[in-house]
Structure formats: structure tokens, C-alpha cells
Amino acid sequence: MVKVEFLGPIGKETIEIEAATLSDVAKRLKEESDLAEWLDKCAVAVNDTMVSDLATRLNEGDKVSILPPVCGG
């Protein structure tokens, strides 16, 4: 199982899913209707490192973070 957490304004509870790669996470999250407005503008971190490849391998206990659009300052 990997943990998927939704940061900032997304306002969704952390979920645990079976996923071997980020591609599996994408497939699973597309089934969640409350994420439809978010996924195309969110960045992704695995274990707190930003990632840019859907083939990224995931291991048991990994943390995937979903980061919506930012505005610091």
C-alpha cells in the first residue's frame, strides 16, 4: 500500500491504495470525482521529492503528495 495525501486547499483525507508506479496512482485518482478539477494543475512529490515521471516506481509505505497551485508571499 502507498499513502496519497492531498495538500493545501484540496481538502481531502489521505487515502491508502495499491500502486506499483505513479501511473497506477493516476489511474486510481481519476476515479475520484472530487479530484476532477484538481489533477491537471497539481504537481506530485514521492517521499517529499518532486517527481516528473509516471513510470516512477513505488514501494510499500511510500508517501505520494498532491500539490495544488501555489501562491506564497
Partner 1 sequence: MELYDGPLDVKEIFGRWLDEQAASNYGAYIPFVGTIRAEDGIEALSFDIYEPVLKAWFDSWQEKAKARGAVVKMAHSIGDVPVHTSSYVSAVFSPKRRVALELIEEFVEDFKANAPIWKYDVKEGKRIYAADRSTPMDGSGLLA
Give the interface with partner 1 as residue ranges (CB under 8 A): 7-9, 22, 25-26, 29-30, 39-45, 48-52, 54, 65-73
Contact 67, 44 (CB under 8 A): yes
C-beta of 70: minimal distance to partner 1 in Å?
6
Contact 16, 72 (CB under 8 A): no
Q: Which is nearer to partner 1, 2 or 66 (CB)?
A: 66
C-beta of 40: minimal distance to partner 1 in Å?
4
Q: Which is nearer to partner 1, 9 or 59 (CB)?
A: 9
C-beta of 28: minimal distance to partner 1 in Å?
9
Spatial CB neighbours of 49, under 8 Å, sequence gap ≥ 6:
none
Rounded to whole angstroms, the Cα distance separating 23 from 28 reads 9
